[in-house]
Structure 1
């Protein structure tokens, strides 16, 4: 398979590289490498301004419409989207605060929404003016997404949304949240769900509480809805179609974004190798072999992502990609500590015991990557998807949630 880019792609690369060099100056220079996984809490206001800068340049949503910029974005082929993603990562540009709206919400509206919804929301995302978060997981329905209990009750021309979502990235900065909620209480599991667009600026009706992690940062949040209003025309795909819309959106979490992620992974691997050189760990043949293995596996991940990019109807592709990068990144975090030995457990050289200190980048990498095999779909769930939808194996028996057990008892009288 040919993984080379064509002449038009390389011309596009030169344009992207020149634009980034021209605009990543002044206050944006200080954002280099900030705001990615493990540091999404950093400089949100400055990164929001950067989002508007990207929008003004036409660089937001370049893959939405490949024929014309109907929603304010420029057109780009699939390979040009890859080129832009690569150049963005190589320039160490700031972590995006608008990626959920651009890469998840927008393609979902294009595929499942109506024209009024697309005209209302996509131009604002393309200009970098409105940010989004995702309201899926709940305390009792993480990997078991069909068990969501957040309810949306029709009230005239709107719905009243009540319930709790958890592990919500960028909820503190978001203007809107797409929420999977139950609109038909008489239905169970994946039936009776709807996909609603909910404004976050509803004081007293929407509350965001940061979740402090063991790394000391708070990238994720709890979100509480207490009668929050969602307009009836902001139900995507129609009432009751939430499961279909939500599953279509989850498939979009892979793709071009996986390639961007891998460039960041390569930079982290280079840092770990540099640390191994500094402390002499490369003299250990076992550690040296593990570092070489990490490098080789990263190359395989890239080739796999390019091979499957744009593949239609690939039921197992997204799950394979998640399994590959989740385990790889977690092992990299472990290696980052292993190459430094006992020094990995201490603070800076001038640190006095019992005093607080800031984690260094490799310590933060290790702590953050403990969650890699859980968030975005746990490894167990991904393996079930591959087994059932690709290999055709019998569905695994799943334990019932507390709600289902209660309903079963009630049904039995």
Structure 2
């Protein structure tokens, strides 16, 4: 019985019939391409690609994956490909955690998060940046948090092809950013500068790794290093093939060093900021003006901004807040708002509303978090004394530190 039902409303083409034969017969084959550490010049992991049987019209990885997409069988294809990659690597003695890179569509990532058997084999999950543009981001980000909790690492590929990709880096929190040398070399100068600046700023703030794809020459190695890459993959180091008879020692890919970037759920923006910044005392009027400034700054970033706001309770997200945040949702890469009883708002479309449990410490905070490739800022505040309509005294922290802002954002992503 096929566990992945599909509609057969038309006579299958030759490609569709061949796809049936390959997937249902388990005829896929995995190729492995080494990933080198540029400092030690040792293999740390292998990238994987899936091809069809020799002589098949779907023998090439591109033809096979395209046929799966056209047949709406991506989840099935990814599942079969991952299973085959794990079995092949284990037969060769490769068992180090996060020593295999595996590419998957957002729909597969969401399904994977609920598959305990599959999660028992930690890999580096590659998500192509362009697939995020049309993905349902909330379940995808929720899945990424669960997958990372099981010891997996996350890699983002094609970073910079779409402005949304750079903006979503803090939400996805990749452990590895993959730069395709061919793709970025084709970008206009100003766009290239923006991509490299955004990647560099994120990597510096988080300690994530940068992997250069498509390295063919020693000159490109120098280019990769100039881009901040510490890992490289490409024809210069080996093409996709079988695993060697004698495997090198593989260390695998380490996750990003800060546990908070995985979104520890007991943290809040104020708790992470207060560890490294001194709080000041002010009134609601000043905090409102700072909030309006940050929201305007996010609007100026258009589709390159990630925006979060916390409003304590449902009543605080009034008509004026709606007038400010819904236009942001139409332009920004992602907008999320949080508060107790937010389920009553019925928010849909451009703004993601998150209902908070009354006991969640985030309910006591006023936060505005804005991140883009060129800007990062967090306003986080708490009322001093007993909360009441007449209490106008707050302790607050305003920081433009990118790392702190990313950490603040991750505490919110964990609650999506």
Same-fold status (TM-score > 0.5): no
Hey, which of these two has a bigger chunk of helix by percent? 1
User: TM-score scaled by structure 2?
Assistant: 0.26
Which gives a bigger RCO, structure 1 or 2 (Cα 8 Å, sep 6+)? 2
User: TM-score scaled by structure 1?
Assistant: 0.26
Hey, which of these two has a bigger chunk of strand by percent? 2
